Amino acid sequence: MEITNVMEYEKIAKEKLPKMVYDYYASGAEDQWTLQENRNAFSRILFRPRILIDVSKIDVSTTVLGFNISMPIMVAPTAMQKMAHPDGELATARATSAAGTIMTLSSWATSSVEEVASTGPGIRFFQLYVYKDRNVVRQLVKRAEEAGFKAIALTVDTPRLGRRESDIKNRFALPRGLTLKNFEGLDLGKIDKTDDSGLASYVAGQVDQSLSWKDIKWLQSITSLPILVKGVITAEDARIAVEYGAAGIIVSNHGARQLDYVPATIMALEEVVKAVEGRLPVFLDGGVRRGTDVFKALALGASGVFVGRPSLFSLAANGEAGVRKMLQMLRDEFELTMALSGCRSLREISRNHIKTDWDFPHYLPAKL
């Protein structure tokens, strides 16, 4: 079957993967309302295309934290990619580098920061969970820095793991032969089978529930890398992130896997963008499946987007080649959307190019 859009990879992944693995990747928290909403909300944003503009040349390139990338589409951190394909994060790293964009490696990767760095050059960020044992965090950040990673994406929405019912039903555990490679030498690399979700038990035992804003200052004291705060969805937290010297914000609801009934990230985006008043870049994570979605996010003020599940499903379907094709399809669709909207560069994409169903008083957040 010829793949013509990113969504088609999910069907192939579902057929290929063991149920426990597919469910782990695909599911959200509790009723999964936010999981559906992350997608559905995009369909409530319509275009206002401008016509008779010379679009014979279109430039989709951009810069993120000073790094030049080929397009405003980057790869989000997703855990345990070797469950999807034997090459796991190494395939994703190679594909992302070939596409000329940024990969974010998960703390809970099944390949280490050093292994990913060894795949060759590329701009890579490291997603960080803060463990109770701060020495573990210190070591991890230092290793990421030494391996050439360019930024830390600090996940701030996971003091406890959201209730993912399929993981509970499936008694989720890391398949035999796989470990959380970054923690292997620290005896923290295994996720065992429990009477619950093995990951939920692991998080309860290891991740620091006392994490607070002051820890951003602590993190800045142990690394010179810029820190992106991942998991902000309100204006209030966006302003605090600016005060604490964050280098950027990733508007994310953790792929709808933490607190259900939070808004879709595309709905929360504009509130956050307005609150930061241009003082730092804001990125969108969640629900992006089409080039049109990328354009809509940029029109609402995002500096770029991160894609998570599409990376996993394309990896499961066809390894490195799958991830390459997924990124190329999103790029091609995005470029086409720009052309049909009358935009020749990212600078020309504006709020006037879209119309949302919350462009009415009762949809606006109380006070920005």
Q: How far is CA 193 from its chain centroid? A: 27
Q: Are 83 and 178 in contact (CB under 8 A)?
A: yes
DSSP H helical ranges for the chain: 8-16, 19-26, 33-40, 88-98, 113-117, 134-146, 165-169, 198-206, 214-222, 235-243, 265-276, 291-299, 309-341
Active site residue 254: yes
Q: Which two tokens stand for residue 261?
A: 């009934």
The backbone torsions φ and ψ at residue 285, rounded to the nearest 5 degrees and listed phi first, read: -130, 125
CB atoms within 10 A of CB 279: 13
In the block, which residue shows the tokens 């620290």?
Answer: 186
Integer CA distances (angstroms), 56 to 59, 285, 339, 340, 345, in order: 10, 30, 8, 11, 12
Task: Name residue 81's amino acid.
Answer: Q
Which token pair is 148?
Answer: 């050439």
Residues of the binding site for glyoxylate: 24, 129, 164, 254, 257
Answer whether 229's CB lies under 8 Å from 213's CB.
Answer: no
Q: Angle at Cα 68 formed by Cα 62 and Cα 73, nearest 5°?
A: 50
Distance CA 43, CA 361 (A): 20
Q: Which two tokens stand for residue 98?
A: 């070939």
Task: Write the CA distances from 3 to 74, 85, 291, integer angstroms.
Answer: 21, 18, 15
Q: Indicate the annotated binding residues for FMN.
A: 77-79, 106, 127, 155, 230, 252, 285-289, 308-309
Catalytic residue among 85, 254, 353, 362: 254
Picking from 88, 136, 145, 137, the residue whose alpha carbon sits closest to that of residue 114 is 145
- Tokens in use for 67? 């790094």
Residues with catalytic function: 254
